[in-house]
Structure 1
Amino acid sequence: MSALVKPVEGYLIESVETIIFDVKGLVHPPDKVIAFPRFIPSPQGPRFRRKTPYRKIYSLNERFEFLAKNCPEYIIYDPIFDTKLCEVPVERIKRVYNPIEGLRKLKKKSTLKKIEKEALECLKTLKMESNVPWSSLGISGSILAGTYNESSDIDPIVFGSENCLKVHSTLRRLLEEGDTPFKPYSIEDLRKLFNFRSKDTQMSFKDFIVTESRKVFQGKFMNRDYFIRFVKKPSEIVEKYGDTQYRNVGYARVEAVVTDDSEAIFTPCAYKIEDPKVLEGPKLQPILEIVSFRGRFCEQARKNEQILAQGKIEHVKNLRTKEEYYRLIIGNTPKDYMILKS
């Protein structure tokens, strides 16, 4: 991998074992990339890439189990994040899949498959309606990897805070207008999504539907599922690996009020909170925010809403400013959740 290439959330990487990983987060060790296996070579795989069969793996447990069996050296304890992570050394990266470059190539293709046409039309619509540059848009997921099938969804990426806010606002308008190719999920769609996600995130269907039904980053485009990630540009990220030390200090269930949801659309997402009450777990203060590195927890709550959340408590210490506080991390285990308090 070129030293000039810095994969971030939304990028894919391929290891020398031809495993395709999706990159997680925006802060990475200098000689490794934090990424989890997504498409793995499999003799019985239903997806084909250059005549090689692949299959897609979903849950975090399944991803760790696959690596433990096939590439255990990629599972390491990271002392900065104080947790077990999948980290691929840069010298083991065979190829980097850049979503922006992937879209550029898609636009130049003379012959497109049905899903490629729909993905390109989706991004063209977002670009024109939002007035953002092509350089801020990309395509990820199976289309970027070349492992898609007829039932695959569309995974657009928007880079840069200003561009993300424009596209998000446009998407909300298009969904509300009703006479566009963008449609919100129906109750039946949400039931299917719930059945799929409940294997990895456990909550009641009632709680699920309250939050998921109002999200705009997911839905249908031309009757195909889409899932859009909004990602900050690397130049917007102040934190460097090692600037902040994270420590796992337990597991807790808390009740709080969201005071700032300005980071809710991004992956990773964050929610500033106040008046947190620890209902179960270590009684630590101040807990200032709830954070998730998983796209499914974007747009989970809005400003002034009261929430219940359960996850890992981390002590956060900025080694430059000496600021210290606690945060709740959700999305690492199936028990983690954040719901609105009724």
Structure 2
Amino acid sequence: MGRDYFLDKDIVVDKERNIYLVFSNVNPYGYIYAMIKYVYTGKGLWKGYERVLKYYGVNNMLKLSQEFLMEPCYGVTFPVLRLSNVSKHLKPEEKALELIKHTSGSKHEISFLELYTALGVRQLGITGSFLAGINHENSDLDIVIYGCEDALYVMNNFEGFEEDRDWIVETSRNYGLTLDFSKQLYDKRTRGAIKGIKFSILFVDPRPERPCKEVCKRKGEITITAEIEKGSCDVLFYPSKVILHNVNVVSGEVGLKPEILVSYEGIYSTLLFKSRKIEAKGMLVECEKPIIVVGDRDVPGYIRRIL
């Protein structure tokens, strides 16, 4: 891509050798939205690094020991890394191209090439410990698919490989969900294993965004039912976004119906992709158009499929 801006799923390294995961396409002035994931102690499994962000999710992100900045347009704080402290900017698509052109023949690289062939798309990358260069023998393969066209191609044509049953148990424990509900969130196309090596398929919109496009005000907890467009690529990107139709307010402020759902919990993306009608609990936020946010720090919420 030859880009000089930051995208979701990029990796950045600070001047103290700490490794961060970028989680937004928004490029503010002077800093980036990024979560610290690994710190170097000399004792960690990842070539001397230890993982401090053990599990994803908003609640785990809030426990991180790093700088948070208040964003006045949204009224909440986000974890950030200042550009003046960035030592390296690592891009998933560049690492994938490197592995495609030059492979050492390791089991992980062979599995990556098999995934690359099975996925059938060109706009892809590899992130996580492989991009950071600290992978170990049991590391996962975190594959990034760029753009709506390729995202839909993968979801409509890729059948997956072996199931990753551990994901269901880990998601249940991490988010406090029942095992049955976690099974409903699991999708073999985006979480699985190939020859014993676990992999994830992640989707990224390759377009950068400008900061503070609108000013929003948090209003309070709300639960709704609504119809949505099935098979939208926008729910696969982070955060998931989908337009709501025929909204019914189950509880909360009835005078302001959300028109858009935004989910900061990635576990719901494939459920939204497969659904036509949902129930959702979250934070009602008044922006240019009212939205319901799932994954708010005060109202974590949930999404359930009705149809």
The normalised TM-score by structure 2 is 0.87
Gap runs ≥5 in structure 1: 176-181, 318-324
Pairwise mapping of residues 26-105 of structure 1 onto structure 2 (< 5 A)? 26-48=25-47, 52-57=48-53, 58-59=55-56, 60-67=58-65, 71=66, 74-105=67-98
Which amino acid counterpart does residue 65 of structure 1 have in structure 2?
A: K
The whole-number CA distance in structure 2 between the counterparts of 1:279 and 1:78 is 30
Aligned 8 A contact 1:161 1:233 in 2: no
Instruction: Find the counterpart in structure 2 of residue 223 from structure 1.
Output: 196
Instruction: Find the counterpart in structure 2 of residue 287 from structure 1.
Output: 258
Instruction: Find the counterpart in structure 1 of residue 290 from structure 2.
Output: 326
CA distance change for structure 1 residues 17 and 61 in 2, over 3 Å: closer, same or farther? farther
Which amino acid counterpart does residue 63 of structure 2 have in structure 1?
A: E
**2:146 is the counterpart of 1:159:** yes
CA distance change for structure 1 residues 229 and 302 in 2, over 3 Å: closer, same or farther? closer
CA distance change for structure 1 residues 247 and 147 in 2, over 3 Å: closer, same or farther? farther
Which amino acid counterpart does residue 226 of structure 1 have in structure 2?
A: F
Which amino acid counterpart does residue 64 of structure 1 have in structure 2?
A: L
CA distance change for structure 1 residues 335 and 195 in 2, over 3 Å: closer, same or farther? farther
The whole-number CA distance in structure 2 between the counterparts of 1:66 and 1:111 is 36
CA distance change for structure 1 residues 184 and 277 in 2, over 3 Å: closer, same or farther? farther
Q: Percent identity?
A: 20
The whole-number CA distance in structure 2 between the counterparts of 1:258 and 1:201 is 24
- Between the two proteins, the alignment pairs up a number of residues equal to 301
Residues 185-241 of structure 1 show CA distances to partners (whole Å, capped at 9, x for unaligned) of 2xxx44x323212344233222222232x452222223322211121221xx6x521
Which amino acid counterpart does residue 41 of structure 1 have in structure 2?
A: Y
Q: CA RMSD in A?
A: 2.5
Shift of 1:304: 6.2
Aligned 8 A contact 2:169 2:179 in 1: no
Aligned 8 A contact 2:169 2:182 in 1: no
Shift of 1:184: 5.2
1:183 maps to which of 134, 154, 161: 161
Instruction: Classify the secondary structure of the residue corresponding to 1:80.
Output: coil
Aligned 8 A contact 1:291 1:330 in 2: yes
Of residues 97-106 and 241-250 in structure 1, the stretch that sits farther from structure 2 once superposed is: 241-250
Instruction: Find the counterpart in structure 1 of residue 104 from structure 2.
Output: 111
The whole-number CA distance in structure 1 between the counterparts of 2:105 and 2:199 is 18
Shift of 1:20: 1.1
The whole-number CA distance in structure 2 between the counterparts of 1:101 and 1:302 is 28
Shift of 1:315: 1.5
Aligned 8 A contact 1:310 1:337 in 2: yes
Aligned 8 A contact 1:45 1:53 in 2: yes
Aligned 8 A contact 2:11 2:132 in 1: yes
Aligned 8 A contact 1:203 1:337 in 2: no
Which amino acid counterpart does residue 271 of structure 1 have in structure 2?
A: V
CA distance change for structure 1 residues 87 and 290 in 2, over 3 Å: closer, same or farther? same
**2:221 is the counterpart of 1:251:** yes
Gap runs ≥5 in structure 2: none
The whole-number CA distance in structure 2 between the counterparts of 1:110 and 1:204 is 41
Instruction: Classify the secondary structure of the residue corresponding to 1:245.
Output: coil
Of residues 279-288 and 34-43 in structure 1, the stretch that sits farther from structure 2 once superposed is: 279-288
Instruction: Find the counterpart in structure 1 of residue 301 from structure 2.
Output: 336
Aligned 8 A contact 1:25 1:293 in 2: no
Shift of 1:302: 4.7
Which amino acid counterpart does residue 26 of structure 1 have in structure 2?
A: N
Shift of 1:40: 2.1
Aligned 8 A contact 1:211 1:339 in 2: no
Aligned 8 A contact 1:21 1:37 in 2: yes
Instruction: Find the counterpart in structure 2 of residue 274 from structure 1.
Output: 245
The whole-number CA distance in structure 1 between the counterparts of 2:61 and 2:90 is 20
CA distance change for structure 1 residues 75 and 12 in 2, over 3 Å: closer, same or farther? same
CA distance change for structure 1 residues 16 and 282 in 2, over 3 Å: closer, same or farther? farther
The whole-number CA distance in structure 1 between the counterparts of 2:274 and 2:154 is 20
The normalised TM-score by structure 1 is 0.79
